[in-house]
Structure 1
Amino acid sequence: MSAEQSGAPARPEQPTSDRRRWLGLVVISVAVALIIVDSTIVNVAIPSIIDDLGITSTQVQWVQESYTLVFAALLLVFGTLADRFGRRRMLLIGVSIFALSSIAAALAPTGDFLIGSRVIQGVGGAMILPTTLSIINATFRGRERGIAFAVWGSTIGGMAAVGPLLGGWLTTDFSWRWAFGINVPLGIIIVVGILFAVRESRAANAARVDGVGAIFSVIMSASLVFGLIEGRTYGWWLVDKPFTIDDWTWPFAVSVIPFAFAVAALGVVAFVAWGLHRQRQGRSTMLAFSLFRIASFRNGNIAAMIVSLGEFGIILSLPLWLQNVLGYDALQTGFVLLALAIGSFVASGAAAGFGNRIAAVWIVRAGILFEIIGLVAIALVISTDTPWWQLVIGLFVYGFGVGLATAQLTGVVLADVPVEQSGAASGTQSTARQFGSALGIAVLGTVLFTSLGGGLDSRLEGSVPDATRAKVVDLVVDSAGAAIPALEKQSPAAATAAREAFSDATRYAAFSAAGFLTLGLLTTLSLVTGRVREDDDAVTDAAAAPPVAA
């Protein structure tokens, strides 16, 4: 640094500078991998969390949903703030928030406290992801940028495979609390690495944050997800259970859920109207509304959202079923789910190998088709005594499809987008995917637990008194199946019925996910089939540009 300031030749310092740049790449890749690992660890640890904290099935959905929802809502906001106020600074803040909230999650005494901690984790995660992409774009150019994104993606893929095993080991041999606690030493290492190897950078003409648009986006997404998750609790139309906040109780005979959906609809209208208003004034918007005139961009984002809905929702039900019905421990569950990560890793390499010979949209379609086949295969073998190898085959095929689809979908969505708008377009696509993931957890979780309740009730009808039957159903559903082993000691017949009902519900969730993926496959039929442009900077910018506002 001093040599450059004094005018001395920079060449002797270049090797050190290069080493620091590449070390910085590893550091920021691990920072993003921290988010991925946390998600996969939580999936495996959920049954143990239920046993320890006694959380309900609705809280189980919120443990997953609160993080994903906040993450999706704030991606664009923090991407813009990072460009304005410093990317390294934002990354340091994000990692620190993520690590501190992980301490809170690890020490959580109640389910509500854990959910609150997950909300704060979502804030930290939303700071990390777009910032790392911005740093890579600012640090590397040309061929090096493509290599940098390959390293970034490979690190994330590898950690995604490690996550279930790490979570299973920590949960089985120690405690689910270490599944969150492991983030603390990793966070400290990442912070030290950022301070040492990552340079600060800012955008010369960064856009201002659309604060009103951000508020509208949070309102519409939060109210929609609240309605989807809580509908079975408070009633989809009439009141099944009073909605209360402290001493205040919902005063109407109609449930709060239709009101939540109405707020979501009004939020969508307000969000779009406000964004178009700012766009006409030439001001920044949360989403790049003008790009939705491009058919491939518009339809591609719809496909990305629907595919994410089907992809991520099923991950909620499988660990619960594996542990509560088949009796696997967390580590065994991690080994089974590892097949998904391996399939995805294999497919990512395969997609890179023939991506220049086959149009990207056909690779995406093939990937979605593999996902559907994998999910249907899983659904068909689900029973109370399914052997592990049958699940592994389906999960590998499913993971292979995920790897094919996600590796190429970005290029398809951005194929006709002007290069200078690739950052805003990529941010819109990232938001669509994350919002689809949030909907997947809400919708498929509701399918799972609603089917579980109805199926168990019908199985016990006639053999168990009505009052007892209602208590058993509520116990199994509210515990997300964790009460089944204890139920075995009191009533083996009821426990058998519960296992069968949980297996059926998991099957219905898998078929529902396959249905959404089929819908996503149909939406790709309107996408362009031409090859993705091959200009180096255009491709690398479009494929991994940071999700920031226009």
Structure 2
Amino acid sequence: MNDIRASRRRWLGLLFISIAVALIIVDSTIVNVAIPSVVEDLGLNSTQVQWVQESYTLVFAALLLVFGTLADRYGRRRVLLIGVVIFALSSILAATAASGELLIASRLVQGIGGAMILPASLSTINATFRGRERAIAFAVWGSTIGGMAAVGPLLGGWLTTYFSWRWAFGINVPLGVIIIIGILIFTMESKEPSAQRRVDIVGALLSVVLFASLVFALIEGRSYGWFFSDTPPDFWTWGISPIPFVFALALAAGIAFVRWGFARERAGKSTMLAFGLLRIPSFRNGNIAAMIVSLGEFGIILSLPLWLQNVLGYDALQTGFVILALAIGSFMASGFAGAFGNKITPVTIVRVGIAAEIVGILIVALSLNPDAAWWQIAPGLFIYGFGVGLATALLTSVVLMDVPLSQSGQGSGTQSTARQVGSALGIAILGTVLFASLGSGLDAKLANRPEIPAEARTQIVDLVVDSAGTGISTLDEKLPDAAADAREAFTDSTRYAAFAAAGFLAIGFLASLRLDGARRGDDDAEGEVERTVNDAKSTDG
């Protein structure tokens, strides 16, 4: 009877942990559908549009390693609960923001809460479930990410259309209360007693500088110039763009982070990244694959809702219904993974998922045109969503399958960081592809219209690009031909972003070929890897 109660409690705890993960994933996707309304209400430009998403993802990626380590040392449930509280409170600030700057600032604070929730949830699952139950739990966790990434736009569309974009953030507050109550009741506290309690402060600062500077350079390069700049920031007085210096800062911080980490590990001190775990092939190669796949997965989610609303004229709810095809595919993938999980190796399922993502996104790209109907886009989104569900559900378990329990927090934090760095880079790179190609493409089309002078052409391009496409509708009455050119240019740029995403996914598929497809017993694998890591530390010492 006690075993039945304990098992029931574990699975109910998993339910609320999954809802917590859903909270941060929904929030990262729900905003995309609401962005056109936010742009109209707060007057955001295209760079601010990227930063509304990136400010969250940037902090998220930069702090995952820190909070993964803290969760192991001071309590996984404690860190998870604190993260939910911070996330809910910052959602109130986002919902009441009166300007783009305040909205971006609140998103930064949300990123802190999200960075606490994700690695704490992963390490809690890793510590709570064993053997086959762990694989099922990871599948539930991963399917939640894949499904919620698609449900978010539908929920955001409904809230934005019938209420306000502010409710896209306000919904987090009651959900946060439910999560806190459920975790307090059904989830036990866990920590690693043998973990060193001193935090690697220098390593934490270097990781933050590395990720923050890299993503900043990728986002702002389009605005400030990749080398020379006509529009430098106010604080910059040099003749060239600050972007090369920011890239150099990221490179220097990355080198310093690795050298510092290895030095501390040789001295037997704590590190932000478990460098010893990188000697485990499944962990090392799995993280590389996860980062590249995430780069391709989340970048297209930025451009497609903008295209649906600004080119096809859909409202937020209609956009959500189109993207629902992605959610349906993802949920069906979780059933497929459950049915064949014991017959096909997890790595094989991951590869099938990535392949399906590539096929789906190519179908979407080839279906894009200014007169497209929703049913032409939906099949590609369904296939893409099916692939996301397969790859996301089991890639985590593949990455962590050989990680010792004593380092589960660092392991989960590392793989979460790899994913979030990938998604941050994806949004930055594909966002740059979208808006840069939109500007050049529209300028080229308008140049073929002699009735539009050069000065007016520049103003039209700036209007469309800076408004992230929402300015197209204002051209319909006075300059219908220019509006048609803008829709064609936005369609072309969205297609280019989709092709770029497919290219990154193809690289991720190649990276997955280095993963070991063999299945081993959970306890045997853990014991073997524990000895490998300990031997490696002894050798380094």
How high is the TM-score relative to the length of structure 2? 0.91
CA deviations on 1:505-529 (whole Å, 9 max, x unpaired) are 000000011111112222233333x
1:297 aligns with 2:283: yes
Inter-partner Cα distance in structure 1 for 2:286 and 2:130: 27
Are 2:292 and 2:508, in contact at CA under 8 Å, matched by a contact in 1? yes
Question: Which residue number in structure 1 is paired with residue 443 of structure 2?
Answer: 457
State the shift of 1:414 in Å: 4.7
**Structure 1 428/152 Cα, relative in aligned 2: closer, same or farther at 3 Å?**
closer
Question: Which residue number in structure 2 is paired with residue 358 of structure 1?
Answer: 344
CA deviations on 1:422-469 (whole Å, 9 max, x unpaired) are 553343222111110100000000000000000000111142111111
Inter-partner Cα distance in structure 2 for 1:53 and 1:312: 25
Question: Which residue number in structure 2 is paired with residue 99 of structure 1?
Answer: 88
State the shift of 1:17 in Å: 6.3
The amino acid across from 2:157 in the alignment is G
**Structure 1 237/155 Cα, relative in aligned 2: closer, same or farther at 3 Å?**
closer
Q: 1:526 aligns with which of 505, 510, 514?
A: 514
State the shift of 1:497 in Å: 0.7
Inter-partner Cα distance in structure 1 for 2:145 and 2:448: 52
1:339 aligns with 2:328: no
Worse-matched range after superposition: 25-34 or 268-277: 25-34
Q: Within 5 A, what are the aligned runs for 1:84-95? A: 84-95=73-84
**Structure 1 459/175 Cα, relative in aligned 2: closer, same or farther at 3 Å?**
same
CA deviations on 1:487-514 (whole Å, 9 max, x unpaired) are 1122101111110000000000000111
1:498 aligns with 2:486: yes
The amino acid across from 2:299 in the alignment is G
Inter-partner Cα distance in structure 1 for 2:98 and 2:124: 37
Q: 1:445 aligns with which of 431, 439, 451?
A: 431
3-state SS of 1:526 partner: coil
The amino acid across from 2:294 in the alignment is S
State the shift of 1:90 in Å: 2.0
Inter-partner Cα distance in structure 1 for 2:183 and 2:412: 25
The amino acid across from 2:462 in the alignment is D
Q: Within 5 A, what are the aligned runs for 1:190-201? A: 190-201=179-190
The amino acid across from 1:243 in the alignment is P
Q: Within 5 A, what are the aligned runs for 1:425-436? A: 425-436=411-422
How high is the TM-score relative to the length of structure 1? 0.89
Are 2:67 and 2:413, in contact at CA under 8 Å, matched by a contact in 1? no
Inter-partner Cα distance in structure 1 for 2:106 and 2:507: 34
The amino acid across from 2:439 in the alignment is G
3-state SS of 1:131 partner: helix
Question: Which residue number in structure 2 is paired with residue 321 of structure 1?
Answer: 307
Question: Which residue number in structure 1 is paired with residue 21 of structure 2?
Answer: 32
Question: Which residue number in structure 2 is paired with residue 65 of structure 1?
Answer: 54
Q: 1:507 aligns with which of 495, 507, 510?
A: 495
3-state SS of 2:513 partner: helix
Are 1:30 and 1:156, in contact at CA under 8 Å, matched by a contact in 2? no
**Structure 1 95/356 Cα, relative in aligned 2: closer, same or farther at 3 Å?**
same
Question: Which residue number in structure 1 is paired with residue 38 of structure 2?
Answer: 49
Q: 1:214 aligns with which of 204, 214, 223?
A: 204
The amino acid across from 1:365 in the alignment is R
Alignment RMSD (CA, Å):
2.5
The amino acid across from 2:463 in the alignment is L
State the shift of 1:167 in Å: 1.0
State the shift of 1:152 in Å: 4.3
Are 1:419 and 1:538, in contact at CA under 8 Å, matched by a contact in 2? no
1:229 aligns with 2:215: no
Inter-partner Cα distance in structure 1 for 2:515 and 2:11: 37
The amino acid across from 2:233 in the alignment is F
CA deviations on 1:337-381 (whole Å, 9 max, x unpaired) are 111121122122213322333333333222222111111111111
The count of corresponding residues between Structure 1 and Structure 2 is 526
State the shift of 1:396 in Å: 0.8
1:175 aligns with 2:164: yes
Taking only the aligned residue pairs, the percentage that are identical comes to 70
The amino acid across from 1:410 in the alignment is T
State the shift of 1:30 in Å: 1.5
The amino acid across from 1:376 in the alignment is L
CA deviations on 1:469-489 (whole Å, 9 max, x unpaired) are 111101100000001111112
Are 1:233 and 1:240, in contact at CA under 8 Å, matched by a contact in 2? no
Inter-partner Cα distance in structure 1 for 2:338 and 2:7: 26
State the shift of 1:151 in Å: 4.8
Q: 1:241 aligns with which of 231, 234, 242?
A: 231
CA deviations on 1:50-83 (whole Å, 9 max, x unpaired) are 1111101111111111111111111121122223
Inter-partner Cα distance in structure 1 for 2:406 and 2:25: 29
**Structure 1 466/485 Cα, relative in aligned 2: closer, same or farther at 3 Å?**
same
Inter-partner Cα distance in structure 2 for 1:275 and 1:68: 24
Are 1:32 and 1:132, in contact at CA under 8 Å, matched by a contact in 2? yes
Question: Which residue number in structure 1 is paired with residue 377 of structure 2?
Answer: 391
Are 1:142 and 1:537, in contact at CA under 8 Å, matched by a contact in 2? no
The amino acid across from 1:342 in the alignment is I
Gaps (5+ residues) in structure 1? Answer: 1-10, 543-549
State the shift of 1:387 in Å: 1.1
The amino acid across from 2:64 in the alignment is L
Q: 1:368 aligns with which of 339, 354, 359?
A: 354
Inter-partner Cα distance in structure 2 for 1:298 and 1:74: 20
The amino acid across from 1:34 in the alignment is L
Are 2:120 and 2:409, in contact at CA under 8 Å, matched by a contact in 1? no
Are 1:96 and 1:124, in contact at CA under 8 Å, matched by a contact in 2? yes
